[in-house]
Homo-oligomer: A and B are copies of this chain.
């Protein structure tokens, strides 16, 4: 059986995952007790760590390429939510077995995302145990303009990127709980398997938005984090939820809205901004090719209220999936 060291070298150091020689900020990469970096000091470093456990965060027997793809992408989504530029990551991989094909496919999945976002693997650890993947990403962002959860102001408009509820429907389709046409099924399943971290969007919002978070647990649950950190409330218009035609082709509108409000895994951004930056947001949307939809406003009553098109309050029994 190859040693830990051999595995990491063979499957990860030989892919396109490692920093190019031209990256002079990486003094030492994989293979020593530590990696050594000397990053650009004008910027702050943004750090985020996340674990994905088989059967909890990804499906048992999920394709290894998709496991790698999704694991790195959802970590990068945290950088996007700060407006940070991805730079480096470390990987701690716990595996019940040493399967060369799995490792190869997993590395390819990581590599596809790493190339897309110019992020490089600087260190790792491989251990034996129940399948789980911990990734720590490091990005760079302006120390004064990073998008925090705590910056929302009363009167801010609330926005989301893209469409919501797709990944949850995709997961149900993957688990064969919904029957539908193949094209919509593929689109929605892919929204679960291969989410898009909104990195360009986050960077473009750095001097525009007052607060931001990525939607991993569900819009209402994640928006609640912004409200708590900013000590404000919000009114959300459920008829404003951006819903994809694919989602509306497989569930009725009410179910789609419910998914958009409470289901996680879309990895879109939710952010707040002063109402007078609408024009700037149109430019950002055009530049990034990602829709931005106004869905509500920040209030001073410290509660989170959902209203329909007649401004009647709507109640929900759940605030979205909580991992713990």
Contact = CB atoms under 8 A, between A and B. Distances in A.
A244 interface: no
Given A32-B149, A34-B46, A136 B139 contact: no
A41 B44 contact: no
A94 B7 CA distance: 23
Interface in A142-200: 143, 146, 148-150
Given A92-B50, A132-B129, A82 B36 contact: yes
A60 interface: no
Interface in A1-28: 1-5, 7, 27-28
A133 B271 CA distance: 32
A94 B53 contact: yes
A90 interface: yes
A79 interface: yes
| Copies assembled | 2
Contacts of A62: none
A254 interface: no
Interface stretch (A117-125, A280-288, A302-310): A117-125
A289 interface: no
A122 B49 CA distance: 10
Of A48, A52, A81, the most chain B CB neighbours within 10 A belong to A48
B126 A324 contact: yes
Nearest to A91: B49
Contact of A47 (B48, B50, B122, B146): B122
Interface in A65-117: 78-79, 81-82, 84, 88, 90-92, 94, 98
A321 to B, nearest CB: 10
A302 to B, nearest CB: 17
Given A5-B225, A148-B28, A225-B5, A36 B136 contact: no
Interface residue tally on A, bucketed by range: 35 or more
Contacts of A45: 36-39, 45
A34 B136 contact: no
Nearest to A78: B33
Contacts of A225: 5
A217 B136 CA distance: 24
A130 interface: yes
Contacts of A250: none
Nearest to A31: B229
Of A45, A55, A123, A324, the most chain B CB neighbours within 10 A belong to A324
B51 A3 contact: no
